[in-house]
Amino acid sequence: MPARTGQQFLDGLKASREIYVGDERVTDVASHPEFSGAAEELAAVFDLQHAEAARCLVPDPETGELINASHLIPRSREDLFKRHAALEVCAEHSVGLMGRTPDYMNVTFAGFAARPDEWAQKGNEAGAENLVAFQKELRRKDLSLTHTIIHPTVDKAQGDVPRAGNDVALQKVGETEHSIIVRGSRILATLAPFADEMAVYPSYPLPEGADAFALAFSIPMTTPGMKILCRDSYSAPKNAHDFPLSGRFDEQDAFVIFDDVEVPKERVFINANLAAYNTVMRTSWSPNIMQQTMIRAQTKLEFAWGLANRMLKCINGKNPAAQEMLGEIWSFAEFARSAIYASEMQAKEYPGGVWFPDVRPLHALRSSLPFWVPRVNEIIRLLGSHNVFAAPTEAQMRNPELKHLIDRYLKGAGDVQAEERVRVYRLAWDFVGSALASRNEQYERFYLGSGARNRQTHEMFSDPTRANRLVDQFVNIQPQDAKGGSACPQAA
C-alpha cells in the first residue's frame, strides 16, 4: 500500500490496543471524545498528501509507487528541498502545533536506513539489515509511528540513564528462538493513541554494564503486554469558533509500560548491544531529523507573528511598544527561516551517498527555541490583555438576544466586525493560554532534550577553531609582538 488516505489511517486505529486515558480503557480511539478531534486532523494530514501530491509525493525508489517525501532517503540537495516542501505542507496544517505528525518518524527512519554502515558496526549487522527492511515496510505501508527514547527518571543523582540493577527502565529479560522479551517502561510516547507502531531507539549513551537496556526495535501497538497510559486529555470539544486549536490538535503524550513484551527478532535493530547503541545516533540523526523539527517550529513562529499582527489590527493597537514586540516575534521567525535555509544550502554528502543538512544552524536553533517560544507566548499574552477574555462563545454569538449587542459592543477598530475580533482573540488564547497551549510550551522546552542540555552539548561539540584564532590575536602574542611587532601573527 503506498501513501495512505485519511480513511485508511483511521481504519488502522481500530485494531485492539491497550490505551488508557482518565479512568477508562479506550476501545475505539477514532470515535473517543478525547481523541476524535486529533484523529480527524491526522486523517486530514494523510489526505493532504494526495491533495498536495505535487509537493508531498515522490516515487518509491524500488517500486515506483507514490510515497510521502518524508520517507525519502535524500541523495542530493534537491531531495532535501523536495522533502522540505512535503514537511511544510504537514506543518502548516496544524500551524506547527503537532510536533509528532507521522513525518517526524518517517524522516527519522529514512535517516537511519540511509546509514546502514553506521548501524552495522560493533557486530550489529543483523540489526542493520532488519532496520533497512523495516524502513521499506514503513514507507510502503505508510505507517504512523510513535517513539520512546527516554528512560524514566527514578533518582537523578544516579544519572540520566539506567545502570545494571535498575528494574524500572525498559530492558531485555529473555530470548526465544524467534523473539526477545522486554520488560520495563519508557517515556514519553507522543502520538501513541494515533500510532500503528511503537519505535524504541537510543538517546543518551549508556554506561558500561548496561547492555540489557541497549535496545532498538519497532512493534505494532497491538502487541500484547504493551500498556499506554495517556496524560490527561487537553482536547476541547470540536468547535472551530470556540476552540480553534485545542479542539483539533491534541496529539497526546503517554507513559509506556512493557509488561513482558515479545519482540520478533526481525523487528530488533539493536539487541542488547551497548557499543552499537552508543554510536548509532552520533553523526547523522541530528542533522537529518532537525530539518523536520525546525520547519515545524518555524511555521509556528510565523503563525504567531501573523496572529499577533491580526490581534493588533483588530483594536488598532500598533503603538511603538507593541510594534517592537511584533518585531521580536518576526525576528525569531526570520532567524529560524534563515537557519533552515542555511542548513539546506550547506548540506553535505555523508558516506553511502546520502545528503543531510548542515547541523550547525539547526543546533543553534534547537538551543534557542526553548527560550524563544515561551517569550513569544508571553508577547501574545501581553498584546492580548483582557481582550482574550472578552470573546464570547459561538452559542453566545448566535443567540438572537445577544447577537446584535455583541456586534455593537465588541466591534473592533476601523471595519473590523465583532465576529472577526472575537475569533482572533479566542484563537490567541487557545494558542497561549488553554490547557493544550500550556502542554505545547512544555513540549517546545523538552521535546528534543531540555534547552539547557542542548546549549551545553552543542557548545561543547562545536568547532572552536575560528573563535580561538580570533582570541589568539590578542592573547597568543610573541615577545617581539609585545615590543611593537604585529599583534596579529595569523593574519600574516
Ligand X SMILES: Cc1cc2nc3c(=O)[nH]c(=O)nc-3n(C[C@H](O)[C@H](O)[C@H](O)COP(=O)(O)OP(=O)(O)OC[C@H]3O[C@@H](n4cnc5c(N)ncnc54)[C@H](O)[C@@H]3O)c2cc1C
Q: Is 147 in the site for ligand X (CB under 6 A)?
A: yes
Strands (E), 133-178: 145-148, 171-175
The residues in 64-93 that bind ligand X, with binding defined as CB under 6 A, are none
Check binding of 199 to ligand X (CB under 6 A): no
What phi and psi, each to the nearest 5 degrees, are found at residue 268? -95, 125
d(CA 194, CA 334): 32
Size of the site for ligand X (CB under 6 A): 22
Q: Quick one: CA dihedral 346, 300, 448, 36, positive or negative?
A: negative
Q: To the nearest 10°, report the CA torsion of 59, 64, 66, 71.
A: -60
Regarding 335 and contact with ligand X (CB under 6 A), the answer is no
Among 92, 402, 446, 489, binds ligand X (CB under 6 A): 446
CB of 76 to ligand X, least distance (A): 30
Q: How far is the CB of 49 from ligand X (least distance, A)?
A: 22
190 contacts ligand X (rule: CB under 6 A) = yes
The footprint of ligand X on residues 160-189 (CB under 6 A) is: 160, 187-189
Nearer to ligand X, 104 or 305 (CB): 104
Choosing from 148, 218, 286, 288, the residue that interacts with ligand X (CB under 6 A) is 148
In angstroms, the Cα distances linking 91 to 9, 47, 101, 238, 296 are 18, 14, 8, 20, 5
Q: How far is CA 476 from CA 465, 466, 480, 485, 492, in A?
A: 14, 14, 12, 13, 14
Minimum distance between the CB of residue 479 and ligand X, rounded to whole angstroms? 41
Nearest Cα neighbor of 219 from 197, 234, 202 is 197
Cβ atoms of 146 and 190 within 8 Å: the answer is: yes
| 450 contributes a contact to ligand X by CB under 6 A | yes
Minimum CB distance to ligand X, residue 452 (Å): 3
Minimum distance from residue 444 beta carbon to ligand X (Å): 9
- CA–CA separation, 324 vs 330, rounded Å? 10
Establish if 435 lies at the interface with ligand X (CB under 6 A): no
115: which residues sit within 8 A by CB, 6+ positions away? Answer: 283, 284, 350, 351, 352, 354
Of the candidate spans 124-132, 144-152, 329-337, 406-414, the one that interacts with ligand X by CB under 6 A turns out to be 144-152
Residue 443 binds ligand X (CB under 6 A): yes
* Binding window for ligand X (CB under 6 A); candidates: 83-91, 162-170, 424-432, 445-453: 445-453
Q: Which of residues 246-265 bind ligand X (CB under 6 A)?
A: 253
What is the C-alpha separation between 121 and 136, in angstroms, rounded?
21
Q: Site mask, ligand X, residues 89-128, x = CB under 6 A?
A: -----------x----------------------------
- Cβ nearer to ligand X, comparing 147 with 172: 147
482: amino acid identity, one letter = A
User: Which of 453, 457, 458, 477 forms a contact with ligand X (CB under 6 A)?
Assistant: 453
403 binds ligand X (CB under 6 A): no
- Check residue 194 for interaction with ligand X (CB under 6 A): no
| C-alpha separations of 30 from 6, 11, 67, 117, 248 in Å | 11, 9, 24, 40, 13
361 lines the binding site for ligand X (CB under 6 A): no
Q: Is 447 in the site for ligand X (CB under 6 A)?
A: yes
Interface ranges with ligand X (CB under 6 A): 100, 147-150, 160, 187-190, 253, 439, 442-443, 446-447, 449-453, 456
